Structure 1
Amino acid sequence: MSASAGPALFPRLLGARFARLPPAVQRLHLHTGKRRYHGEIDVERGRHWLARACAWATRLPPGGRGPVHVDIESSPQGETWARCVGPHVMRSRMWATRDRLCERLGLVTFEFELDVENDALIWRVAGARALGAPLPVGLFRGVSAKESEVDGRYRFDVCAALPLAGLLVHYRGWLHVDA
């Protein structure tokens, strides 16, 4: 972490709970500046036409299995993530609003409540807007995200399903997050 820049986004939002995260999860979220992480990903995509439209609007990755790299640029104001799965890039911008994490993915901005449970970072949707218009938070009960550590390796598991559309995407995998 840069000494003059102040705390990174996730430690700031989680406060004392950040120390309860496993070391690999802490390492991913601790630093400011630019970093790149490499790993493997397995992506399952929904087939319903509405699921495909929602996935396009949020620029979700295509189905498949293989290498992934994640570029993170972090500052005290927020973070920009680029998740690169083959030629596809899923970009998002994250920042803090009150005690929540905001993430803009394509045409949609989400608000997440973050918590630490069973040695994992849990993301829960607390609000969403599409093109600035609020969406009912109940639509997002099928959205979950978890970051954990298994055998010393950073793991991620993200699933998004919506009423009527069904599964949008389920992606999971790991990243090398060295000390």
Structure 2
Amino acid sequence: MGPAFEALADPVKSFHRTRGRRTLHGWVRTEAPASWPARLLARSLGTPLHPVSGAIRFELDATPACETWVRHFPGKTMRSRMRLVKGELTERLGPTLLYFQLLAEDGRLVMQLRALKFLGIPCPRWALPRIVAEEEGRDGCLHFRISAALPLIGQVAGYTGYLAIDAEVPSNQ
């Protein structure tokens, strides 16, 4: 992100400066996939299949080469791997490889989808999912909002919540 990184809120910068292994705790609300095809895709990606609210445990293993993110939702664990490739962030999520541009907007980190490969096959631009992937910092927490929906299939994944970056975890919101 270069100089734009400094425009992010402090909890967001703190989270993304982490190196090594770290476990964070917080709260999350998940949404169910919108249709049976969306449910099949969600299953292949490892994303939550049922709407739930509750505690989340997030394990981060950050090295200079890549980051492994393990999200322990209530009743479901989702793993992905992040790498920087030619100035873009790539995220490997099951059989899917997503390519994102990172932007700073009003102190928030916004991940804008640029391309996607499923089972190694490039997705045509017209079929790209609508993805919202945003992080913001407030009250010592990293707040996140994630959703992914495909044309004709509907929402495949959706979850919102926060991770406590400082020692104290706020009450559920």
| TM-score between the two structures when normalised by the length of structure 1 | 0.88
Counterparts of 1:96 and 1:53 in 2: how far apart (Å)? 29
Counterparts of 2:129 and 2:11 in 1: how far apart (Å)? 27
Deviation at 1:141, TM superposition (A): 4.8
Question: Does residue 1:66 correspond to 2:61, yes or no?
Answer: no
Once the two structures are superposed, what CA deviation does each residue of 1:19-71 show, in whole Å capped at 9, x if it has no partner? Answer: 11100001111021000110000001123111101111211023211000110
Counterparts of 2:82 and 2:134 in 1: how far apart (Å)? 16
Deviation at 1:118, TM superposition (A): 1.2
Find runs of 4+ consecutive structure 1 residues off by over 2 angstroms.
Answer: 137-141, 150-153
Question: Does residue 1:100 correspond to 2:88, yes or no?
Answer: yes
Query: In the alignment, is the contact (CA less than 8 A) between 2:112 and 2:133 conserved in 1?
Result: yes
Q: CA RMSD in A?
A: 1.3
Question: Does residue 1:31 correspond to 2:15, yes or no?
Answer: no
Counterparts of 2:60 and 2:99 in 1: how far apart (Å)? 19
Question: Does residue 1:55 correspond to 2:35, yes or no?
Answer: no
The match for 1:134 is 122
- Residue pairs, 1:1-179, within 5 angstroms: 14-62=1-49, 63-178=51-166
How high is the sequence identity, in percent, across the aligned residues? 33
Deviation at 1:152, TM superposition (A): 3.4
Counterpart amino acid of residue 162 in structure 2: W
Counterpart amino acid of residue 77 in structure 2: V
Query: In the alignment, is the contact (CA less than 8 A) between 1:119 and 1:148 conserved in 2?
Result: yes
Counterpart amino acid of residue 84 in structure 1: H
- Matched pairs, number: 166
Where in structure 2 are there 5+ consecutive unaligned residues? 168-173
| TM-score between the two structures when normalised by the length of structure 2 | 0.91
